[in-house]
Structure 1
């Protein structure tokens, strides 16, 4: 029998008791594909069950990896096929201006692989990083490589947490969730700092005239519009 479980794990125990590996696969898939369901929680619970001998650890790890990879890949495809159309139609209501989308595309060209690899450890980013990567046009080869690395890392870490926690799963799970919240706050703070710096740089740019040129200074040598020097 598994050890006493904390609230979120105990609530999912009947689902895992009744459906086993398919429950892990479905929830992990959805949790990595835009839908905010407790995929990470059920993965930890399945690993606890594996530690108690009720499930196979290699099967739990394999199901979690494949489901996470497939879910994020589907989110990426949704972004590639319909993300830009959504932004063009509804982006102005979400303040997704063409300039902001251009900055997002530039960011994903430079840092997209790191974001996709590590995003699964942050609630919110786990569900949406594939969608954003697809919408901003991240190359498919780079995305798939980062997606596979992120799925393997995420599935491995949380499977290990549940499997080795044993009777300490309650304390360990609470500490892990606390760490995740701190990570989310840190990511939000970094994003806010980046946005603030971009705003400051934008405001410091010199104004442009209607033709997109920087106005020249009046030094007394201006030539009239007719091209003649009347001096």
Structure 2
């Protein structure tokens, strides 16, 4: 974990210094939409730069929150437009049989709000959260409520935690 943070710091620091909150917005948007981007490492790097006075913590916070909500929403729309057909057609190739997909749909129907909320905190689930919810036709208003709440809590922890507890991250400099 620490080596990942250190490597992430080295990769993201120049981009964050040059492009500021826009860089972290794009990173979180792409990750939340479904791309394999190491968002939480970027958020921590941006928060540490804000703690050093090189970025505004307010702009970092807003960029992360907006990127998370808009990225998840974009993933939802993509999933809603064709995700279920793709899952049914290609899912068996990755072990997602029709029976398993039906079970996932049933689980989503019963506990979708909590699944979407908690998925924000689990790597890989964070990336496919919107795609899956859209593919499984979770009602938009329920998805938006759950993913916005999850994004708010996740953003607060990953942005404000490193910002206020910078001394725990001194070894990254």
Q: What TM-score results when the alignment is normalised by the length of structure 1? A: 0.68
Structure 1 stretches of 4+ moved >6 Å = none
Asked whether the equivalents of residues 92 and 98 of structure 2 are also in contact (C-alpha less than 8 Å), the reply is: no
Deviation (angstroms), 1:170: 5.1
Whose radius of gyration is greater, 1 or 2?
Answer: 1
Deviation (angstroms), 1:62: 0.8
* 1:7 corresponding residue in structure 2: 7
Instruction: Say what the alpha-carbon RMSD is for the aligned residues.
Output: 1.7
* 1:80 corresponding residue in structure 2: 80
Distance 2:166 2:88 in 1: 50
User: Deviation string for 1:7-54 (max 9, x for gaps)?
Assistant: 321221111111111110100111111111122111111111111222
Deviation (angstroms), 1:145: 0.2
Aligned residues: 168
Asked whether the equivalents of residues 9 and 42 of structure 1 are also in contact (C-alpha less than 8 Å), the reply is: yes
1:111 aligns with 2:111: yes
C-alpha distance 56-83 of structure 1, shift in aligned 2 (>3 A): same
Identify which of structures 1 and 2 has the higher relative contact order when contacts are C-alpha pairs closer than 8 Å and 6+ apart: 2
* 2:150 corresponding residue in structure 1: 150
Distance 2:37 2:53 in 1: 26
* 2:27 corresponding residue in structure 1: 27
C-alpha distance 170-110 of structure 1, shift in aligned 2 (>3 A): farther
SS at match of 1:54: coil
Deviation (angstroms), 1:165: 2.2
* 2:64 corresponding residue in structure 1: 64
Structure 1: tracts of 5 or more residues without a match: 174-231
Distance 1:55 1:142 in 2: 34
* 2:46 corresponding residue in structure 1: 46
SS at match of 1:64: helix
Q: Which has the higher helix share?
A: 2
Distance 1:61 1:147 in 2: 16
Distance 1:170 1:127 in 2: 29
Distance 1:58 1:125 in 2: 27
**Superposition pairs of residues 106-145 of structure 1, within 5 angstroms:** 106-145=106-145
Asked whether the equivalents of residues 48 and 165 of structure 1 are also in contact (C-alpha less than 8 Å), the reply is: no
* 1:37 corresponding residue in structure 2: 37
SS at match of 2:72: helix
Deviation (angstroms), 1:128: 0.6
* 1:166 corresponding residue in structure 2: 166
User: Deviation string for 1:125-177 (max 9, x for gaps)?
Assistant: 11011111111111111100001101111111001222012232156x9xxxx
